Amino acid sequence: MRNRLKGCVIGLAAGALLAGSPARAQTSPAPKRAVSETLYDKLANNGTGGAAPRRDLTGFWAGLVEPKLNDVPPMTQWGQEQFRLNKSVWNFPVSESNDPSNSCDPLGFPRSMLYQTRGIAFAQMPGRVLELFLYNKLWREIWTDGRALPKNVGGSSADAPDPAWYGYSVGHWEGDYTFVVDTVGSDERSWLDNYGHPHSIDMRVQERYTRVDHNNLQVTISIDDPKTYTKPFVITQSNYRWIPQQDFEEQICAPSEQSEYLKVMGDSAAHSAPAK
């Protein structure tokens, strides 16, 4: 339900105010049925591809642009205060939204696994697994050499590590097909999701990647952030499909292109329809 419901109600009410513009030839109701055209969908009938290889996520995977997210639990007072500061594009015009992604700031983690997930990839190296993201061609390191997660990230002591947009991650295998990744230290400037839900520097995230078969990779992402949310929760359970050609197209949030976009679409006053 989130804020979309609010947006929906407001939107529908506002929709009644729409008057015909001189330039509009005709108006017709939007058909109900949805288009579903993503690489992920196109690969729906590719089958299992056989058994999953043992302890191996290596390869390029297609996902949805935005996996289905569960509702967040009630926020703490601190969480609510942070949430009020975040103006998502679901509730505000682009020109008034302060979504970090509007200026091509990093999505950060875990938002990078909750939005713009049409392509992820894994590369396994001695002592670490790299997770690569189609969006903005970036990666995160997941250490598998047995090191512990850093403590007190962002703390006041001299040796406290700095917050990191993509946090600090370690991973291990549970059995031969589930890779478990624990992450701490995500920079508080990143949003949790597109709705502007916040997180604190104390958030712990666990991802469980289960390679069901050769062609399907399921991931469950859990959030534990008692400073922000009143209880831990699973934010998404999503699936990725093996990309046969094992390649990504390029998709970059280029600040100059984004700026042009905002200039055209964000400044709606400059594009008012002519007077009747």
Partner 1 sequence: MKSRLQLAVGLLAGALIAPGATLAHHGAAAYADTVTVFKDATVTKFMWANPHTLIMFDVKDERGAVAHWVAETGNPSAVALLGWNRNSLQPGDVITVYLYPAKSGSALGRLNKIVLADGKTLRDTQQRGDNPATQ
Does 230 bind partner 1 (CB under 8 A)? Our answer is no
Does 233 bind partner 1 (CB under 8 A)? Our answer is no
Instruction: Give the 3-state secondary structure of residue 77.
Output: helix
The only residue of 44, 51, 234, 273 in contact with partner 1, by rule CB under 8 A: 273
143-182 binders of partner 1 (CB under 8 A): none
Question: Measuring CA to CA, how many Å separate 69 from each of 38, 45, 83?
Answer: 18, 24, 17
> CA 254, CA 273: separation in Å to the nearest integer?
29
> CA 194, CA 268: separation in Å to the nearest integer?
22
The only residue of 53, 56, 64, 224 in contact with partner 1, by rule CB under 8 A: 64
Stretch that binds partner 1, among 73-81, 89-97, 139-147, 210-218 (CB under 8 A): 89-97
Instruction: Give the 3-state secondary structure of residue 56.
Output: coil
Backbone angles phi, psi at 171, to 5 degrees: -135, 155
Pick the closer one to partner 1 by CB: 51 or 252.
252
Q: With CB under 8 A, what is the number of residues at the site for partner 1?
A: 70
Pick the closer one to partner 1 by CB: 147 or 263.
263
Pick the closer one to partner 1 by CB: 118 or 241.
118
Does 138 bind partner 1 (CB under 8 A)? Our answer is no
Q: Please name the residues in contact with 237: beta carbons below 8 A apart, sequence gap of 6 or more.
A: 218, 219, 220, 221
* Nearest alpha carbon to residue 131 among 147, 145, 151, 110: 110
Say what the alpha-carbon torsion angle 99, 36, 4, 6 is, to the nearest 10 degrees.
Answer: 130
Does 87 bind partner 1 (CB under 8 A)? Our answer is no
Does 1 bind partner 1 (CB under 8 A)? Our answer is yes
Residues at the interface with partner 1 (CB under 8 A): 1-2, 4-5, 7-15, 17-19, 21-39, 42, 64-66, 68, 71, 88-91, 93-94, 101, 115-116, 118, 134, 194, 249, 251-254, 257-258, 260-261, 264-265, 268-269, 271-274
